[in-house]
Amino acid sequence: MRAAKAEAVMPDGQPQIDRLFHALGDPTRRAILDALVHRPASVSKLATPLGITLTAVIQHLEILENAGFVHTEKLGRVRVCRLEPGGLDTLEQWIREHRTAWEKKLDRLGEALREEYEGN
């Protein structure tokens, strides 16, 4: 995810969308989410079945939190992690929007197949 050279349209990327996709792009993080679907859990409870260190889990949790998928809160010496309600909403909306445009245009593909990039 490096910054693109400045020129023309250069997408700076909606950083929130970036965070969503990036967070879900890692299998370990998806496993954490799956675990949290069943019940809230502490950092070490999450770490054990994953076979990685606490530190690594915390790092993943930070990413998941920034993406709005989980919320964590420290109770005593334990950090309790839960799913964030509505965490998937933004993502779902992104997909809905894009899917609409996507399908809409593809419908015209039959007619436009050749001419569309003839003049360009």
Partner DNA sequence: CAAATTGTCAAGTCAATACTTCAGTATCAT
Partner DNA sequence: ATGATACTGAAGTATTGACTTGACAATTTG
Q: Site residues (CB under 7 A) for DNA? A: 1-5, 22, 25-26, 28, 42-45, 51-56, 58-60, 63, 74-79
109 binds its own copies (CB under 8 A): yes
Q: What is the residue type of 99?
A: R
Pick the closer one to DNA by CB: 54 or 88.
54
Residues 83, 37 contacting (CB under 8 angstroms): yes
The phi, psi pair for 9, rounded to 5°, reads -80, -20
d(CA 78, CA 41): 9
Binding partner of 55, given its own copies, DNA, none, CB within 5-8 angstroms per partner class: DNA
Q: Where are the beta strands (DSSP E) in 33-100?
A: 41-42, 70-75, 78-83
Largest Cα span, the chain: 67
Binding partner of 17, given DNA, its own copies, none, CB within 5-8 angstroms per partner class: its own copies
Binding partner of 117, given DNA, its own copies, none, CB within 5-8 angstroms per partner class: its own copies
3-state SS, residue 81? strand
Q: Which residues bind its own copies (CB under 8 A)?
A: 1, 4-14, 17-18, 21-22, 24-28, 30-31, 33, 37-42, 45, 48-52, 80, 82-83, 85, 87-88, 91-92, 95, 98-99, 101-103, 105-106, 109, 112, 116-117, 120
